[in-house]
Each structure stands twice: as structure tokens, then as C-alpha cells.
Amino acid sequence: MTEDRIASAAVQDASSDLNYAFYDHPRYEPPEAYADARDTFLDRIASVSGVVSVYESGTGEVSRPGISDVDLIVVVEDEIDDPTAVREGISAAKTDEYYFFHGPEVITRSAFPEYYNVLPMPKDLVLHYGESLEYEKNRDRFNYLAYLVDSVTTTYPMEFLELLFFPGPSIDHHRLDIVFGDAFDLAVPGVVAERFPVDLDTRFAVHRLNSLRNDMMLFADSTGRDTPVMDAFDASITDLRERWFDLDRAERETLLIERLQDAITACFAFVDHLDAYLDEIGVEVPETELTVHSHETTHNEFRPDWSVETAERDTCEYYRDGRVRTAVLPQSVTVNERLRDGDTVSAPEAYRRALQNRDRSKRQRDASMAAYKYHPMRARYMRVMGALFGLKTRLVR
């Protein structure tokens, strides 16, 4: 690492000559604007039939005006005659997407009590509208662990590799939509693709860096492990968010690229800690030959002889040279999938129960989101694109 930097030389070298087209820079919005947007949403949601309650994750206050968003959870009845009308009504209640960056979450009444089994963040829920409902704030360390294992096999470090290397092209600084962007990544050779700037969603990147930081601190707090690289990353993201509006545009963009590079190295340190902790609590996954598992458009490579340095280097080569979304991870983090498949795996009984509870709750949550938030064609599209990216991965590897 260079002074004051977390990112390894491998990560910095692999991304140092890429060009970026930054868009959607966070804009400062006063707390009153967030309150007005929330109040308007609540007024509008009252006319949507089937809505039971609206909660907000956290204190109901915005921690970083202009960067943060309003994290709402809309609870709906289990039986609704017209799900499309509910989905459209919830979407239309938002005054400006800026204030509701990735939400709201939508979940059914019966699934809501176990919401924290799926997203076990250490935050309270504030009731803004409707019925006051009972819910369990699951603080079980194995529930946290099962969640984090799922996160490193579906999200980290892949999300930051994609942000840094090829989230999608921009032509004349006009970004392509997700369908054309995926088609570009599938079909255009790397020597051609790199003539285009990497299309970087600035606010999304800042938001996801904060989410990664939160998950790392959840791991550190729940396990009591000493995590110096992750602690340094925590401090760096706090600094990024606090200083963002004090910097000019060029300084922000330079700092953001550095933090995305740092995130990749921090993610591999995170995976290393997770691998060690799984061994510490008695999780033993039988070693097999190198295997590749798919998750939507990402295809992870799980190695029995895994190490941080080679995994990070080889992953960067896959993303940069092969232009495939393949992260190299240890086989220990396949524990959740192997338990789900009924494979022979040694794991504490409490961990098995936590995973079963999480999976039950996640199925309910996923069904709610599919019915009341996501586009009806999303699941089919992701299956098709996953298969196509899987074919590209096999050809490149």
C-alpha cells in the first residue's frame, strides 16, 4: 500500500489508465427538503389501497444531507387484488427519486416481523404512517454471519470491481440504459470497450461505499476481531462523506476513484477475516477442485488454495483483461449454498438454524419485492443475461 492508501498496487495498476465519465454527482439538499419529500410521500401513500404501514430505517433524520436518502419500508396486505396498482401507486408517491435513492422497500404484513432476518442492520424502525406492527430485531451473531456470507458471494467485492472497471459505456457523456449497457459488456471486445470512458454513477458509488463500510463494521462488532484494514476503510468513508461538499468537482472525482480502489482491497481483507472466522467457529467445507458458481451476471471462482494476494490480483485480471465478472473467493464462503443443497458441511447447529430462518424470511421478502417493486420482467431478464454472461465467462476463462 502507498502512504494513506488502502488499495494494493495490483488494484491501482489495473485501473490507473482507465477514463471515467462521472454523472449524478450528489447535490446538497437541506434537511427540510427531505422532510417535505417524506411528508408528500406519506400524504400520497394514504390513497393507495392495500398499504398497511410505512416505516423508516434509522432515526428518521438524514445523516448526510445531499448524500443520504430516505430509507422507507412500505408494508402491504398479504392478499391484494391488483398488485400492479399497488406497485405503481407506491412508485408514484415519490416526489423526486433523489430523496428515495433505492427505495422504498415493500414487504407484506406477514413477512414484516422478520425483516431483520434479511437485512440485519443495527438500526431501529420509525413508524410514519398506519398500524404499529410488531417486529423482531434479530441480533443473533449467526444471523449476522449468514447475511455477511451471502453478501460476499453476491455483492462484495464484485459491485466495486464493476463500478471501477466497467459499469457501462457512455457515448458523448450520455449513459446507456441497463439493457444496452449489458449488451455492450457482452459483445464488445476489451480493446474496443476501453476506448469509451467508464460510466460511473457518482452518487450510487458513494452510497454503496457506505453500505460496504456498514457491513464491515457489523462484522467487526459482532465478532470482536481486530480488523485494521477495515477500520481504516471505515475512517476513509467517514472522511469522504464529511468532506464531499467542501471539495471541487475534480477533487471529488479523484477521491472517489481512490476510495473505490481502496474498497476492493478492503473487501479482500474482509473475505480473509470471514474465511478465518468461519474456521474459528467450526465451519468446515470439504475442499473440491476449483469450482465456478453463478449469481445473476457474476460468476465467482472458488479455490481451495485461496490467498488474499493471488485472489485480488487474479480477480483484477479477470475484470480488466478478460472483461468478465469473475471474483476469486475461498471455498469456505460456499457454506450457505452447500447447506441449502444438503451437502456434507460441518457447521454449528445455531448457524444452520440462523440460515434456515434467514432463507425463510428472504423468500417472503423477495416475493414481496417482485410483486410490488421490481419490474415484472426483471427475473426473466436476469436469467437470460446470467446465462449469456456465464457463456462468456467460460469462453474467456
- The string of DSSP letters for 215-248 reads HHHHHHHHH----HHHHHHHHHHHHHHHHGGGS-
* pTM summary value: 0.89
The pLDDT score that the predictor gives to residue 1 is 38
Residue-wise pLDDT for 169-218, tens only, equals: 655 545 556 677 777 777 777 777 777 767 788 999 999 999 999 999 99
pLDDT confidence of residue 175: 52
Q: How far is CA 388 from the centre of its chain?
A: 22
Q: Assign residue 189 a region (left: φ > 0; alpha: ψ between -120 and 50; beta: otherwise).
A: beta
Query: In whole numbers, what is the pLDDT of the chain averaged over residues?
Result: 88
- What pLDDT score was predicted for residue 13? 94
Q: Identify the segments of the chain with pLDDT beneath 70.
A: 1-3, 122, 167-178, 197, 289-290, 292, 294-297, 397
What pLDDT, on a 0 to 100 scale, did the predictor assign at position 110? 93
Element (H, E) at 103: none
DSSP-derived 3-state class of residue 266: helix
The pLDDT, as a whole number, for residue 176 is 53
Looking at the structure, give the CATH architecture of the domain made up of residues 31-130.
Answer: 2-Layer Sandwich (3.30)
pLDDT score for 294:
67
Of 293, 289, 357, the residue nearest 118 (C-alpha): 357
Predicted pLDDT of residue 65:
92
pLDDT value at position 381?
78
Residue for cell digits 480493446? 191
Structural contact between residues 104 and 74, judged by C-beta atoms closer than 8 angstroms: yes
Where do you find CATH 3.30.460 in the chain? 31-130
